[in-house]
Homo-oligomer: A and B are copies of this chain.
């Protein structure tokens, strides 16, 4: 098995997507992130760790608080992959269209 700690795996978890959503509105500390998330703070901290490890969250200390900030640039990797897949998919139909047009001309 390959080491998977990438953006795709990071956003696979619904809780982590919620965390990203929350952080989109601005920096928050771990307690604030977990506020309405019915889950221990330790669980939140683990999710943050994963998001940090794959470059989706930056952190800095502020007294005893750990302030988290989202880094949405990493999501490019996801949209790029989707765009590429869609491109190939569409090319398939374009080729079919061309073939059909060419066939039609020969009738």
Q: Check: A75 CB closer than 8 A to any chain B CB.
A: yes
Q: Check: A8 CB closer than 8 A to any chain B CB.
A: yes
What separation, in Å, do the CA atoms of A70 and B92 have in the docked complex? 12
What separation, in Å, do the CA atoms of A86 and B21 have in the docked complex? 9
- A40 → chain B closest CB, angstroms: 14
Known: A24-B89, A24-B92, A25-B92. A75 touches B82 (CB 8 A): yes
- On chain A, which size bracket covers the interface? 20 to 34
B88 x A82 contact (CB < 8 A): no
Interface string of A78-95 (1 = CB under 8 A from B): 110110111011001000
Interface string of A5-21 (1 = CB under 8 A from B): 00011011110010011
